[in-house]
Each structure stands twice: as C-alpha cells, then as structure tokens.
Structure 1
Amino acid sequence: MRIGVAIDAACDVPHAFLEQHGIAVMPIAVKVDQQRFKDDRDPAEIERFRAQKLGSRSHSAETEASSVEDVQSLFLDHMVKEYDCVICLTIMATRSPIHDNVIKASFAILKHYRPVREAAGIAGPFLMRVVDTRNIFAGAASAVVETVRMIEAGKSPAEVRERAAHIADCSYGYMLPRDLNYLRSRARSKGDRSVSFLSSMLGTALDIKPILRAHRGETAPVGKVRGFEHGAGVLFDYVTKRVQAGLLVPTLSLSYGGDLDDMRNLPGYNAVVRTCAEAGVQILESPMGITGMVNVGEGAMTIGFASEDHVADF
C-alpha cells in the first residue's frame, strides 16, 4: 500500500525533510498590508516575507488556512492518484480551523475519489486518516517524523495513525518570543486577551520574556526569564536535560523566526547539539513559517520533542 503524508503549513519541519519524504503541504494564505504570501514551507517565500521588513505591522495580518475546497482539490487532483492512503497532520485544532476543514473535506474526497482513480487506471480504495498533533510550530514535528518512520517500517494505516496520535499526546512545544508588545498586539487583533497590556509593558520595561509551552491542545506560560539570550540559554539547558532523560522519538526540532545562524550562536545551543549527538538524537532545524512569525513575531524560537510526562521547571 502506498501511504503518503500531508501536513499543515504551520508545522515547522525543514523543507529538505519534506522533499526527501514527499510530504505535501496544505498552505496558509497570509496578507500583510498589500503584500500577499503563500505559506507552504517554501524557503524562498519565507525569505521574501522577511525581506519585506514588515516588522510591527505583521500583527494585523490576515491568515487563512486551507479551506475545505482547497483540501478537496489537493486530494482529488493529486493525492488520490499518488497514494492509497494519506495521513494528514495538522496543528492543534484549538488554534486553527485547518483540522476541522480537513475532516469536512474528507467526506467529499472519500465520496468522489473512485472515478478519479479509475480514470488514472488505479484499482482499490483510498483511505484518509487525520491526526491533530495537539501542538504548534516545532512542537508538531515529532508526530510528523514518527509518522514517516512508521510508514517506512511498513506499518498499516491503522498502526501509523495510532502511533502518531500517541506521539501527539506526548509532544511538547516550547516557545521563547522576543517582543511581548508584538505578541500582545497580535493577540488583541485576534480577540485573544491572554497577554494583558500591563504585563506586556512591564515585561518590555524589565526585558522579561515568558517561556510558553504547547501541550495537548493548550498553550500557557510555564516560566519567565530576563533577556532573550539568557532565556535561550535557560531553555536550551532545560531541553538538554530532557534529551538526557530520554525522548520517545529520537528527534529534537528547532525553528527560528530569522537567520538560523543567529539561533546557532545563542547560549546553550552547542551543548544541545553535543548532547543530541551523544544520545543519538537527530536535530531538525527550520526557519519558522510565515504564519508563525506573523503570530508570535520575528526572532522567536520554538523547540519541540516528544517525551514522557514531566513538570516544566524553569
């Protein structure tokens, strides 16, 4: 059985990994002022976004996840002819409509795929399995990586989906933003009052940064640090200990809303790289997607991994 993978563009996975494994991306449309961008993990488009130097104006950007019709077109035009089953992984359903859109689209796809496959000379049924990674950005990557591994190991669609859902439940995504005022402005533009004016102003004045955690469909602060570079060191030190304790998927994912060399020069980065090498853990580094930078600001960093339950200690 030919099993393929499709992901939401807000899953921060390296473009080279997507190409290597033939992973399809369900894009997100982004409009900032009069500029339009297609967030589909294309490095050239990400660089075009950064080159516009939109800065603080991005907080008012409009984003639109792939619609039900977009998903239907992607599958009926391409996927049903290339695969017998496709595993779709999306960012947390509590933060984006893409999960619900894929579920709705699947009904029409499963209803109309037969004539398409028959015209292409393909016999047999087509299956879709949809998985909510219950995470965002780099935090969604572990479920994607494990899905690919299971497929390459020859597992059945049911086994792949079950394992992917389990890893999603065990996935942790940590984020360190640079600009609390930007984060507050973006939250307000979306009707989210979770970042108060007072806290953002105090945070900016004192250079306090929150460490945010995404886990099982919820996003909340789990610590605070003074200064971005210091915060990066604290977060990298924490991740180093988690790697040493053992991961459920031997992969650590990093995404950064800027030049990756800037991330590699942050305090604690080299220690994480050494620890991962010693533990046999693969590091996947990718530029943060356009949607991520719009929502949390340029220069933010996210780190994702899958592990047993633990208490965040910062």
Structure 2
Amino acid sequence: MRIGLVVDSACDLPGDYLRRNGFTILPISVRIGDEVREDQRDDKVTLDFLHSHVTERGAEAETMPFTVEQITELFLRKLVIDYDYVFCMTITRTRSPIYDNALQASYAILNEYRPIRAAAGHDTPFALRVIDTQTLFAAQGITAVEAVRLIEAGEGAPKIRARLENLALHTYGYMIPRDLHYLRARARTKGDRSVSIVSAVLGTALDIKPVLRGYRGETAPIGKVKGFENGAQRLFAHTADRVRKGLMTPTVCLSYGGDLDEMRALPGYDDLRVTCQSYNVELFESVMSLTGMVNVGKGALVVGFASEPHSFAG
C-alpha cells in the first residue's frame, strides 16, 4: 500500500526533512499590504519576509489557508493517483479552518476519485484520514515524524491511524513569546481577546513573559517567567526533564521565530541537546513558519513533544 502524508505549512519541521520524506504541503498564504507570499516551508524566504515586513506590519497580516476547493483539486489531480491512503495532519481546528476545510474536501474526494484512479490504471480503493493534531507549530511535527517512522517500519494504515489519533491527545506544545504588545495587536486583529492590554503593558514594563500551552485543542497561558532568556532556559529544562522521564515518541521539535543560531545561543539549549542525545531522542529544529511568526511575533520559541499528562515545571 502506498501511504502519503500531508501537513499544512504551519507544521514546523525542517523543509529538507519534509521533502526527503515526500510530504505534501497545504500552503498558507500571507498578505501584508500589497505583497503576498505562499508559505512553502522555505527558511530563506521566511527569514527574508520576516526582516522586511513582519516586524513592522505583521500584526496586520491576513493569512489565507487552502480552501475546500483547492484541497479537493490537489487530491484529485495528484494524491489519489500517487497514493492508496493519505493521512492529512492539520493544525488544531480551534485556531484555523484548515482541518474543517480538509474534512469537507474529503467527502468530495471520496465521491469523485474512482474514474480518476481508473484512468491512471489503479483498480483499488483510495482512502484518506484527516487528523486534527490538536496543537500547533513545532508540536504539529510530533505526529508527522511518528507517521514517517510507522511507514518505514511497515505498519498498515489502520495501526498508523490509531497511533496518530492517540498521539494527538498526548502532544504538548509550549511557547514563550518575546513581544506581548505584538501578540496582543495580532490577537485583536483576529478577534481574540485572550491577551489584554493590561497584561501586555505590565508584561513589557516588568519583562514578564507568559508560558503558553497548546494541548488537546486549547491554547492558554499556564505560567509566567521573568525575562525571555530565563523563560527559554526553564522551557528547555522542563523539556529535558520530560525526556529523562520518558516521552511517548523519541522526538522533540523546536521552532524559533528567527535565525536558528539565535535559538541555539539561548541558555539551556545545549543541556537539552545533550539530554536528547543521551536518551536517543531525535531533536528537530526549524525556523518557525511564516504563518506562525505573523501570529505570535518575531523571536518566539516553541517546543513540542508527546508525554503523559504533567504540569509545567518552570
């Protein structure tokens, strides 16, 4: 059985990893003023756009995910021919319409694929499963990497499906933003009142940073720290502690809203890297997607892993 994998471009994994493992990307376009960029997980394009636009006007950006019609056309043109079963893993549906668009598209795809496959010489059924990762950004990478491992191990589609859906319930994404004023401005643009003007002003004045968690579809502050670098160190230490206690997959994903050398220079990064090596946990590092950066601001740090229920130990 030929199994294909689809992620949206908010999934923070290295572009070369995605290409090497044959992922299809559902791009998200970003419009700032008159300029539009389609996010295809190209680090250079993302960083160039960050330096030229995001810092000054990112809070005003409009993000445009693939529509139902675009997803349907992509599947019927290519994926129903290239694969027999496709897993489409999306950012949490509570923060984006991508999951709902893909799910709606799946009905048309399954109704219309037969003559297209027959014309390509395939007389077997086609199936697909849309999976809500229930998290975002670097944490989306956890299910994607696990899907690759399962396919390489020769597992069948039913076992992969059950494993990925269970894993989505145990995937944690933690984020520390740099600029609360930006985060609040962006949230207000999108109609999200979760970051108030008082918290933004006090946070900037006192250099207090929230620790945000994406888990089971809910994104909310679960702690606060003094200073971004101190917060990064605590987040790295928390992740290393979970690695030592045992993760549900041997994977940690990091993403950063800027050049990765800046992230690697943060306190606690080296300790996390060494801990992952010691426990045979693969550490993935990527520049945050353009979509992610316009939503949470330049310089934000995100960590993702799958674990049994726990509290942030920072």
1:45 aligns with 45
1:90 aligns with 90
CA contact (8 A) 2:54 2:298 kept: no
Shift of 1:210: 0.6
2:18 aligns to what SS in structure 1?
helix
How many residue pairs get matched? 314
Residue 162 and residue 46 in structure 1: after superposition, are their counterparts in 2 closer, same or farther (change >3 A)? same
Q: Deviations over 1:261-300 (max 9, x none)?
A: 0000000000001000000000000000000000000110
1:276 aligns with 276
1:33 aligns with 33
1:21 aligns with 21
2:238 aligns to what SS in structure 1?
helix
2:292 aligns with 292
Amino acid at match of 2:9: A
CA contact (8 A) 1:56 1:182 kept: no
CA contact (8 A) 1:138 1:304 kept: yes
C-alpha distance in 1, partners of 2:132/2:286? 21
1:186 aligns with 186
Structure 2 matches for 1:121-136, cutoff 5 A?
A: 121-136=121-136
Structure 2 matches for 1:1-314, cutoff 5 A?
A: 1-314=1-314
What are the ranges of 5 or more consecutive residues in structure 1 without an aligned counterpart? none
C-alpha distance in 2, partners of 1:53/1:263? 21
Q: Deviations over 1:227-285 (max 9, x none)?
A: 11111111111111111111111010000010000000000000001000000000000
1:54 aligns to what SS in structure 2?
helix
C-alpha distance in 2, partners of 1:278/1:138? 22
C-alpha distance in 2, partners of 1:211/1:265? 20
- RMSD over equivalenced CA pairs, Å: 1.0
Shift of 1:123: 2.0
C-alpha distance in 2, partners of 1:47/1:83? 33
For structure 1, which segment, 264-273 or 151-160, has the greater mean C-alpha deviation from structure 2 after superposition?
A: 151-160
Shift of 1:40: 2.0
C-alpha distance in 1, partners of 2:48/2:118? 41
Shift of 1:44: 3.5
For structure 1, which segment, 222-231 or 264-273, has the greater mean C-alpha deviation from structure 2 after superposition?
A: 222-231
CA contact (8 A) 1:255 1:288 kept: yes
CA contact (8 A) 2:54 2:293 kept: no
Shift of 1:42: 2.2
Shift of 1:120: 1.4
What are the ranges of 5 or more consecutive residues in structure 2 without an aligned counterpart? none
Shift of 1:214: 0.5
C-alpha distance in 1, partners of 2:54/2:290? 12
Amino acid at match of 1:89: M
C-alpha distance in 1, partners of 2:311/2:289? 28
CA contact (8 A) 2:54 2:294 kept: no
Shift of 1:155: 1.6
Shift of 1:45: 2.6
Identity of aligned residues (%): 52
